[in-house]
């Protein structure tokens, strides 16, 4: 495990707490961690998380509800299928009713 990934581990911790049937965005996580402008890093962390089968990266999409990272999955369409399996409607690589299935990391503060 990359001990040099301080930010990464924080991201993983949050993503792992995402309840089933819910999704979140990179920016939401970045903002929750205190680095609102480091949303890029969150996405980069997710790519690395694919190597570790302990993070549900398929529950993380961009702020548009678009499955931007589907191409990094194996198979790419597997991400969409995984979301639908959890009860999330996905169409054309886009989460339907995104606001309804959106999960805010702020709930971890409780």
Both tokens of 101, joined, read 């299935």
Within positions 12 to 71, which residues make up the interface with DNA, using CB under 7 A? 25-27, 35-44, 46-50, 57-58, 60-64, 67-71
Both tokens of 55, joined, read 């993070």
| 8 vs 103 by CB, closer to DNA | 8
Write the burial class of residue 104 (CB in 10 Å: 0-12 exposed, 13-18 middle, 19+ buried): middle
Task: Rule CB under 7 A: say whether 104 interacts with DNA.
Answer: no
User: Taking a C-beta distance cutoff of 8 angstroms, is the pair 102, 22 a contact?
Assistant: yes
Q: How far is the CB of 1 from DNA (least distance, A)?
A: 10
Applying CB under 7 A, the residues found at the interface with DNA are 2, 4-8, 25-27, 35-44, 46-50, 57-58, 60-64, 67-73, 79
């Amino acid at each position: 495990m990359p001990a040099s990934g301080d930010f990464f581990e924080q991201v993983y911790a949050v993503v792992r707490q995402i309840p089933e049937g819910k999704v979140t965005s990179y920016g939401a996580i970045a903002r929750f961690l205190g680095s609102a402008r480091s949303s890029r890093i969150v996405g980069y962390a997710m790519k690395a998380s694919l190597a570790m089968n302990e993070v549900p990266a398929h529950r993380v999409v961009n702020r548009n509800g678009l499955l931007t990272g589907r191409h990094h999955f194996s198979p790419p369409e597997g991400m969409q299928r995984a979301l639908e399996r959890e009860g999330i409607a996905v169409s054309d690589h886009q989460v339907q009713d995104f606001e309804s299935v959106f999960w805010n990391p702020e709930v971890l503060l409780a």
